[in-house]
Homo-oligomer: A and B are copies of this chain.
Amino acid sequence: MQFTSAHRLDDGVVERDFTLGDLPGTLWTPESAAPVPLVLMAHNGGLHRREGRLVARARQSAAYGYAVAAIDAPGHGERPRSAADDQHRADLRRALKAGEPVDGIIDAFILPLVERAVPEWRATLDAVLALPGIEGPVGYSGWAALGIRLAVAEPRIAAAGFFAGGFVPGALREEARRVSVPLLFLLQWDDEGNPRQRALDLFDAFGSKEKTLHANLGGHAGTPWFEVDDGDRFFRRHLR
């Protein structure tokens, strides 16, 4: 793990870009003498890990008292995008626009993406936990499809916050039954791209004995800011 930049921000948070082999990532850490727990913040949807809203979330959680790590998913952010990725994205947009079923496209596009991303996140987990002042147990926040596989495969993940979850491949919707960590599932009630009933069915499917659903009015990008704070408090109950 090589740090390539470091900035101390207004809120006292230190933001460092890193590379882990070819993998580009960012780590946000609070000013803290004591070791802090780690939260992995993952996203898909073609977003860059430097997207403004993601960075603001990461900074707030770091200021609250977590180390927050993000890497770009395959084909996202700084990473090369294949012609196949572009084709899948175009197929998905077209099917959504036409109101056609998207299950086949999601299975063909998202499942391989998750399978490539999981070992990258586990390598990131190893590297970040080897740094001084950062310790387990570990929280996961964001991209639901990846989080399901990671929560099942990775015993160091002790609690997970998932967002939306409308576009989770069938195999991972099944795998949700095997997720057993405490869960905070966040959805937008009028999320144009994430059908509400699919998200409610996914919440119902999770095997976790402790799971909480938070739903707010509005579209995909309209999650109220207080949910970041609720997420930090959820992790405080499970990572300390």
Residues of A164-216 at the interface with B, using a CB-CB cut-off of 8 Å, are: 189, 200, 203-204, 208-216
In the complex, A95 has a CB within 8 A of chain B:
no
Q: Which listed residue (B189, B208, B226, B230) contacts A204, Cβ 8 A?
A: B189
* A positions within 8 Å CB-CB of B: 189, 200, 203-204, 208-217, 224, 226, 230, 233, 237
Contact residue among B203, B208, B214 (Cβ-Cβ distance under 8 Å from A212) = B214
Chain B residues positioned under 8 Å from A209 (CB to CB): 217
Quickly give the copy total for this chain: 2
Q: Contact: A213 with B214, CB < 8 Å?
A: yes
Q: Which residues of B contact A224 (CB under 8 A)?
A: 210, 212
User: Can you list the 9 inter-chain pairs with the closest CB atoms, starting with the nearest?
Assistant: A213-B215, A212-B216, A211-B217, A214-B214, A212-B214, A210-B217, A226-B237, A213-B213, A209-B217
Tell me the complex Cα distance, A188–B99, Å.
33
21 residue pairs bridging A and B, Cβ less than 8 Å apart = A189-B204, A200-B200, A203-B215, A208-B217, A209-B217, A210-B217, A210-B224, A211-B216, A211-B217, A212-B214, A212-B215, A212-B216, A212-B217, A212-B224, A213-B213, A213-B214, A213-B215, A214-B214, A215-B215, A226-B237, A230-B230
Q: Which of A200, A209, A237 has the most CB of B within 10 A?
A: A200
Alpha-carbon gap, A210 to B226, bound state (A): 12
Residue of B nearest to A190 (CB): B204
